[in-house]
Amino acid sequence: MSSEQTRLEKNFMKFHQENPHVWELFKRYTNAAMGAGRGYYSAYAIFERIRWHQDIETRDELGFKLNNNHRPYYARLFQAHYPKKAYFFRTRQLTSKRPVQNEFAL
């Protein structure tokens, strides 16, 4: 595993722990896309929907910013938590050999 990947994973884990509402929105919008009949979708699009929701729909002043580096980790976290829906996000293989698990061992 590269030091860059380790840094990205650590940054994701910290953000995820400090911002559980982002995970809830990610799950909600992913399930909405599935309910709309999508066979697969993009974590990028889900992130943009979260941004729209926070900035436009609710004008939420939580003050957090979504780092695009977190997108693949949220997609993998969704796959780990919902293995029957793992097909929904197409992810690239990580350069590390570690398997994805339900919690933060991404």
Q: pLDDT by residue (tens digit) across 17-49?
A: 988 989 999 999 999 999 999 888 999 999 999
Q: What percent of the chain has pLDDT over 70?
A: 73
Tokens representing 34 are 């599935």
User: Residues of 59-83 as b/e, b for ≥16 C-beta within 10 angstroms?
Assistant: eeeeeeebeeebbbbbbbbbbbeee
Q: Quote the CA–CA distance of 77 and 56 in Å, as a whole number.
A: 26
Confidence of residue 52 (pLDDT cuts 50, 70, 90): confident
Evaluate if residue 1 carries a pLDDT over 80: no
pTM score: 0.77
